[in-house]
Amino acid sequence: MTARPHDDPHVVIVGGGFGGLYAAKTLAKAGANVTVVDARNFHLFQPLLYQVATGGLSPGDIASPIRSVLKRAHRARVLHDEAIDVQAHERRVLLRDGAAALDYDLLIVATGSRTSYFGHDDWAVRAPGLKTVEDAIEMRSRVLGAFERAEMEPDHVRRAALLTFVIIGGGPTGVELAGAVAELARSALARDFRRFDPRDARVLLLEGGERILPSFPPELSARAVRSLEHLGAQVWTGAMVTDVDGEGVEVRRGNASERMAAATMLWAAGVTATSFGEVVATRFGATRDRGGRMRVTPHLTLPGRDDVYVIGDLALVDGPGGRPLPGVAPVAMQQGAYVARRILGRTEGPFRYRDKGQMAVIGRNAAVCDLPLARFSGFPAWVLWLFIHIAYLIEFDNKVLVLVQWAFAYVTRERGARLITANPR
């Protein structure tokens, strides 16, 4: 069995996230005939999106045009279009705008995930998720707008609701958002208002499970709670959100149910497959888990389909111990590079994830790191987090800029990108 149907296959990659772009870079460098299709013209450095949502960075700081990443590869094409369907028999991807369809010899499906509200899609307008630049801008406008409205609100009950920020979901994104909003209130905005003290803002992180950061060891979850509390945030575990409306949230803890008035609710509780991922699963009859992820072979192809690879958040792959690999950037990057190497005939074996550990940042000088050889938290974890993210950003697109902004923010405790802009929806 070979992964190359003929000598110079046309590889179509749908999605320019970590998985798709790492595959594209490796293939393009080898001179392969590759086309990347993405509905957006830029690759987004998702792990830092929460900093855009909280005014620390601008979208441009964490976005790289897919074209410039591939501009030196003359046989690599980039199409700024949305893949809407796939014809298995014809080996063809249908695009929304493109006049012609796109024929492939090999297809890499890497469109990732989108926010899921577990059947409560009406919550989306009340509690935005954090997957796109527009999401981040929306969150930023809501968070900063709540403080602004509080300054104009004479009624102290309504003001308290305006100064209550509920973050739903205790995974890394929820923890990072809670930490960043708490820090925003306590440092960057500390002296900005006259009618209230922003340090009185209530930041509440709700997690349905037993502990936040469930993929981390328990002691690091506990450390994260302490760090968040140190920043003035509160953490509720075993707290199921049963309703989200214009006035706040309803939360059930054990048998007790409680309403909480809040103007700002941020959703970090779950993701599911993108719509193109769903279409692919349907067309090829793939087996999916509850989160919409497709079961793939050890070579990351769909079973019985040597010409279709699925990588990143869309792929269900068992890691060591039989637990599925998480939907995080390092997994997607390694899968992208693996698939490219396989297509180039450079590897025959199955995909193996090299687990370099996981980390989550809580705020200034505070993070948790769970590495294969060590677990630690606090300042050293934060320095390591910083170092790794800067290294990736610089390797990827020379985003030295972010370093300068962080250095500046660290010294001044300011946030440089505090814009409330028109609702982009």
Is residue 417 a contact residue for a second copy (CB under 8 A)? yes
Is residue 201 a contact residue for a second copy (CB under 8 A)? no
Q: How many CB atoms lie within 10 A of CB 106?
A: 25
Catalytic annotation on 176?
yes
- Give the DSSP per-residue string, 324-393: BPPS-HHHHHHHHHHHHHHHTTS--S--------EEEEEETTEEEEE-SS-EEEHHHHHHHHHHHHHHHH
Whole-number Å distance between alpha carbons of 52 and 132: 10
φ/ψ (deg, to 5) at 71: -65, -25
Nearer to a second copy, 160 or 204 (CB): 160
Is residue 24 a contact residue for a second copy (CB under 8 A)? no
Task: Using CB under 8 A, count the residues that bind a second copy.
Answer: 61
Q: Residue 83 pairs with which residues in a beta bridge?
A: 95
Residue 419 identity: L
Q: Minimal CA–CA distance to 325: which of 299, 354, 302?
A: 354
Residue 123 DSSP label? G
The catalytic residue among 138, 176, 183, 207 is 176
Closest separation in Å from C-beta 83 to a second copy: 13
The single residue among 49, 53, 57, 314 that binds a second copy, judged by CB under 8 A, is: 57
Q: How many CB atoms lie within 10 A of CB 152?
A: 9
The single residue among 193, 236, 353, 376 that binds a second copy, judged by CB under 8 A, is: 193
Is residue 1 a contact residue for a second copy (CB under 8 A)? no
Is residue 133 a contact residue for a second copy (CB under 8 A)? yes
Is residue 105 a contact residue for a second copy (CB under 8 A)? no
Closest separation in Å from C-beta 197 to a second copy: 13
Which residues contact residue 204 at a Cβ distance below 8 angstroms, ignoring those fewer than 6 apart?
A: 164, 165, 166, 167, 178, 233, 234, 235, 236, 260, 262
Nearer to a second copy, 88 or 101 (CB): 101
HSE-CB for 248 with a 13 A CA cutoff: 16
Closest separation in Å from C-beta 174 to a second copy: 24
The single residue among 82, 153, 183, 370 that binds a second copy, judged by CB under 8 A, is: 153
Active site members: 176
Task: Please give the residue ranges that form the binding site for a second copy (CB under 8 A).
Answer: 40-42, 55, 57-61, 63, 65, 67-68, 71-72, 74, 77-81, 97-100, 133-134, 137, 144-145, 148-149, 151-154, 188-189, 191-194, 398-401, 404-405, 408, 412, 414, 416-425
